[in-house]
Amino acid sequence: MTDPAPPLTMTDAAPPAVGPLLQVTDLCVRFATDDGVVKAVDGISFSLERGRTLGIVGESGSGKSVTSMAIMGLHSGKNTAITGEIRLDGEDLVSASRERVRQLRGAKMAMIFQDPLTSLHPYYSVGHQIMEAYRVHNKVTRQVARKRAIDMLGRVGIPNPAVRVDDYPHQFSGGMRQRAMIAMALSCDPGLLIADEPTTALDVTVQAQILDLIVDLQDEFGSAVIIITHDLGVVAEISDQILVMYAGRAAEEGPAVGVFGQPGHPYTWGLLSSMPRLDADRVDRLKPIPGTPPSLINIPAGCPFHPRCGYKDQVGGDRCATEVPLPRETAPSHLAACHLTRDQQRSIWADLSAPVPASLPASPAGAPGDFPDLSVTNPAAPLRSDDPASGDAEAKDRA
Amino acid sequence: MITFVIRRLITAVFLLLVVSAITFAIFFLIPRLAGQNAAQLAAEYVGRNPTPSAIAQMVAKLHLNDPLPVQYWHYVSGIVVGEHFDSGPSQDYCPPPCFGYSFRSQLAVWPQMVTALPVTVSLAAGAAVLWLIGGVAIGVLSALRRGSIFDRFSMGVALAGVSLPIFFTGLISLELFSYKWPLFPNVTYVDFAVNPLLWARNLVLPWVTLAFLYAALYARLTRAGMLETMNEDYIRTARAKGLRERSVVVKHGLRAALTPILTIFGMDLGLLLGGAILTESTFSLPGLGQFTVTAVQNQDFPEIMGVVMLAAFFIVIANMLVDILYAAIDPRVRIS
């Protein structure tokens, strides 16, 4: 388990004359801790063109945020080892000096965060914080910066921006704070915008507005966007490409249509099955993925997902536990790192995505407070750990 | 903002009234409850060989036969508008703020305190500047280099500084720097107006001794505060904007970490202005602290009451200033 998975590439097509805006190759991020080395990101590769949107999906601890922080150069030096390449406009950020990365931060790449209240400084007015971001990278007077801040606040849909510019974050609502964060991030017109769970802390009604805003501004500014989330609805809505991460590696990647329409990795199936479906009967339970994400200090040998995978019996021999699955095409430019054959993947997904018969009896297994037992509720439930009893016990222990 | 200040001022006056009522009760109500009558009380105030006429005169002078609320009224109104004392043959006018006369020296209390005050202010203000700058700087550096040799060393020294009492560090510094190597010989208070250079030179040892104790405390507080704020989300935002690390630390980190320190600073400074008893005693500085010690030793009640009121005044004012400053620093505190 010491050698990282071989790099995945998003497209096999010949590179365009002008390279992609962002090219990440075999990125590894490791943290030295008292308990051992945490392999938070283990050989991730992807590329992103201007004006396109990449959605990175995965559970907590799958390495999505660590990846984005690595791109931004926000990991603090001492206990972090970053290898691989991150090329922004052709310039490698991994080998660049900290000062150079700082200059690029905010100017050519910007980031918005999950919780807009704690992400804004409570002691400074919203306008001050936007002006600050603008003036680090632009030698302008306060008046010019202030005009820019008001202009940006107007563009992200803050009503009466000339007045609200002097408000403090606590005087803004949650949605307005996130709008202000977006205004701050876009104030220097960066080519790359990373949105790390931008809607998680917001009301459902506001979530849609913020996503619309990101899409609109992306069209207006022509930026590339990376959107990181565990909410599949969010990425499905706005992404062109999807990268599904598990235990710091790419489980599946490809065009959004492909990943959602014809997913090839059991983990992606699990993610999709754990979403509510409108065509399913109400008594039907959601199907969570059994077990918990692995420790990133001791990543399971072979396929990191195999202890939680319900399909490893269908792979011959012990390959899932011994052999790291290489990413293989399940469709053109759509890769999945799984030992199942393409035909197996297709037929299993066809079963899974078939409309659920509406007349299943209510399950007796789900007494309130019980941990939902997937294997009983729906006879067709595909995902089960090899030993459901032990899997449940483990999950309970950690709960 | 103005209503906020006015409200705080009213609270401050009320607080001082409460303090005066309690001190007054300690000296005039509790002895009565313990069974002393006016003459016995007055006898303690007269001197070693009380004659009945002197006692009667003292009872009349202090209005000891009046009901307690009236006596209290005399006391408070004396502080505010001054008081006329009828001491038999002559009328004494004690101008405001009148805290009465010392029983031992017969001198008015207020002018004595006014003489002692510059000493204490010089000591406290100088030390405050030293410990605030030193403590905060060391705390910030320790937090930024957490776990480094600098961090461990300075926190070790800080622990020593918090633990060692002033009369120990003060005597050591006197022994070393005043007697063994006479860098600062003859530590006595020289008024600033008389000789500023000598004023400063003679105060260096007291300043450093006093500041050492507080700087140690402040370094630990600052370090803890910085460690907390530097992990806040808004610090990550500041870095994501591409701010220079210095701005991130000072403008975003320290600014937030400093708020609780400011609160404690206000209280510490207010407390010290009421008399840095240990430091003044160690270095024989004739400030309010010395004044207090002498007053207590002599059981000189008017002096004790006076110095208690003055100390309470400083603490209340310092707290009020901190509250107002807090509102200026943290917009969330402002009442709109």
Res A15 pLDDT > 50: no
Would the pLDDT of A25 be above 60? yes
Among candidates B237, B255, B330 on the partner chain, residue whose Cβ is nearest the Cβ of A120: B237
Do B237 and A110 make contact, defined as CB atoms within 8 angstroms?
Answer: no
Average pLDDT over residues B239-251: 93
- Phi then psi for B112, rounded to 5 degrees? -65, -40
Cα distance between residue A295 and residue A248, in whole Å: 11
* pTM of the predicted model as reported, rounded to 2 decimal places: 0.79
Averaged over B242-261, what is the pLDDT? 92
Position A374 scores a pLDDT of 39
For B98-101, which contacts have Cβ atoms below 8 Å and span 24 or more sequence positions?
B99/B302, B99/B303, B99/B305, B99/B306, B99/B309, B100/B302, B100/B305, B100/B306, B101/B302
Task: Say whether A136 and B241 touch across the interface (CB within 8 A).
Answer: yes
For residue B330, the tally of other CB atoms under 10 A from its CB is 17
CA distance B258 to B60: 54
The predicted pLDDT at position A8 comes to 44
- Would you call A53 exposed, middle or buried from its count of C-beta atoms within 10 A (0-12, 13-18, 19+)? buried
What local confidence, expressed as pLDDT, does residue B336 receive? 53
Dist CA B57 CA B47 (whole Å): 13
Cα(A191)–Cα(A90) distance, integer angstroms: 13
Q: What confidence score (pLDDT) does residue A66 get?
A: 92
Contacts of A191 in chain B (CB under 8 A): none
Where do the structural domains in chain A lie, given as residue ranges?
262-398
Concatenating the DSSP letter of every residue in A265-304 gives SHHHHHHHHTS--TTS-TTSPP-PPSS-PPPSSSPPSSST
Residue contact A119–B242, C-beta within 8 A: no
Q: Which residues of B touch A71 (CB under 8 A)?
A: none
Supply the pLDDT for residue A283: 62
Task: Please tell me the predicted confidence (pLDDT) of residue B222.
Answer: 95
B10–chain A nearest CA distance, Å? 28
pLDDT per residue as tens digits for the range A311-345: 888 887 788 888 899 888 888 899 999 999 988 99
A367 or B77, higher pLDDT: B77
pLDDT of B50 above 80: no
- Find chain A residues with C-beta within 8 A of B256's C-beta: 121-123
Higher pLDDT, A360 or A59: A59
Judge: A122–B234 Cβ closer than 8 Å, yes or no: yes
Q: How many CB pairs under 8 A join A and B?
A: 70
A positions 355-394 inside 8 Å of B (CB): none
Residue A12 burial (CB count, 10 A): 9
Q: Are B302 and B102 in contact (CB under 8 A)?
A: yes
Strand, helix or coil for residue A333? coil
Helices (H), A160-314: 161-164, 174-186, 204-221, 232-238, 256-261, 266-273
pLDDT band at residue B41, thresholds of 50, 70 and 90? Answer: confident
Burial class (CB in 10 A: 0-12, 13-18, 19+), B210: buried
Q: Closest chain B residue to A103 measured between Cα atoms?
A: B242
pLDDT (mean) for B251-271: 91
The tokens of B281 are what? 């005693």
Whether the link from the prior residue into A300 is cis, omega within 30° of 0, is no
pLDDT, position B40: 80
pLDDT value of position A229: 87
Residues in chain A with CB shorter than 8 Å from the CB of B230 are: none
Chain B residues with CB inside 8 Å of A136's CB?
241-244
Question: What does the radius of gyration of chain A's CA atoms come to, in whole angstroms?
Answer: 22
Of B241, B329, B331, the CB nearest to A132: B241
Q: In terms of DSSP H, where are the helices of B25-148?
A: 30-33, 38-46, 52-61, 68-81, 109-144
Neighbours of A345 (CB within 10 A): 24
Amino acid identity of B261? I
The closest alpha carbon to A178, from A148, A200, A149, belongs to A200
Between CA B309 and CA B307 the distance in angstroms is 5
**Are B237 and A113 within 8 A, CB to CB?**
yes
Other CB atoms closer than 10 Å to residue A355's CB: what's the count? 8
A284, HSE (Cβ side, Cα atoms, 13 Å)? 21
Which positions in chain A touch B229 (Cβ < 8 Å)? none
- Residue A203 Cα, gap to closest chain B Cα (Å): 20
* Phi-psi region at A302: left, alpha or beta (left = phi > 0; alpha = psi -120 to 50): left
Classify strands A53-57 and A192-196 as parallel, antiparallel or unpaired.
Answer: unpaired
Quick one: pLDDT at residue B234? Answer: 95
DSSP string spanning B223-286? HHHHHHHTTSHHHHHHHHTT--HHHIIIIIIIHHHHHHHHHHHHHHHHHHHT--HHHHHHTT--
Asked if A137 reaches chain B (Cβ–Cβ under 8 Å), the answer is yes
Helix (H, G, I), strand (E, B) or coil at A112: strand
Residue B102's pLDDT band (boundaries 50, 70, 90)?
A: confident
**Interface probe with B: pick from A102, A121, A152, A170, most Cβ of B within 10 Å:** A121
The rounded Cα A49 to chain-centroid distance in angstroms is: 17
3-state SS class at A351: helix
Contact B332 A168 (CB under 8 A): yes
Contact between residue B241 and residue A133 where contact means Cβ atoms under 8 Å apart: yes
- Name the B residues in 234-253 with CB < 8 Å from any A CB: 234, 236-245, 252
Instruction: Evaluate whether B222 touches B139 at the Cβ level (below 8 Å).
Output: yes
The C-alpha atoms of residue A186 and residue A216 are separated, in whole angstroms, by 12
Strand partners, B87: B90
Q: Which of A105, A120, A168 sits opposite B234 (nearest CB)?
A: A120
Tokens for A141?
Answer: 């007077």
> Both tokens of residue B295?
């007053």
Domains and CATH numbers, chain B: 2-94 (no CATH), 109-329 (1.10.3720.10)
Phi, psi angles (nearest 5°) of residue B152:
-65, -45
> A68: which chain B residues are within 8 Å (Cβ-Cβ)?
none
Residue A14 has pLDDT above 60, yes or no: no
Which residues on adjacent β-strands are paired with residue A30?
A: A39, A81
The mean pLDDT value for B197-208 works out to 92
- Could you tell me if the ipTM is greater than 0.85? no
DSSP string of B127-184? HHHHHHHHHHHHHHHHHHTTTSHHHHHHHHHHHHHHHS-HHHHHHHHHIIIIIIS-SS
Query: Counting Cβ atoms within 10 Å, is residue A159 exposed (0-12), middle (13-18) or buried (19+)?
Result: exposed
Q: Residue A279's pLDDT band (boundaries 50, 70, 90)?
A: low
Please name the residues between 154 and 193 in chain B that touch chain A, using a CB distance below 8 Å.
Answer: none
A111: distance to nearest CA of chain B, Å?
7
Collapsing DSSP states into helix, strand and coil, what is residue A68?
helix
pLDDT tens digit sequence for A286-317: 777 888 888 888 888 889 999 998 888 888 77
Contacts (Cβ under 8 Å, ≥6 apart) of B26: none
- β-partners of residue A56 are A228, A243
**Average pLDDT value for residue range B64-86:** 84
CB contact under 8 A, B237 and A168: no
pLDDT for residue A166: 94
Q: Which of A277, A314, A289 is nearest to A57 (CA)?
A: A289
Q: Does B330 touch chain A (CB under 8 A)?
A: yes
Query: Do B235 and B229 contact (CB within 8 A), yes or no?
Result: yes
pLDDT in tens, A63-103: 898 999 999 999 877 789 999 999 999 899 999 999 999 99
- Contact: A102, B244; criterion CB under 8 Å: yes
pLDDT for the residue numbered B86: 64
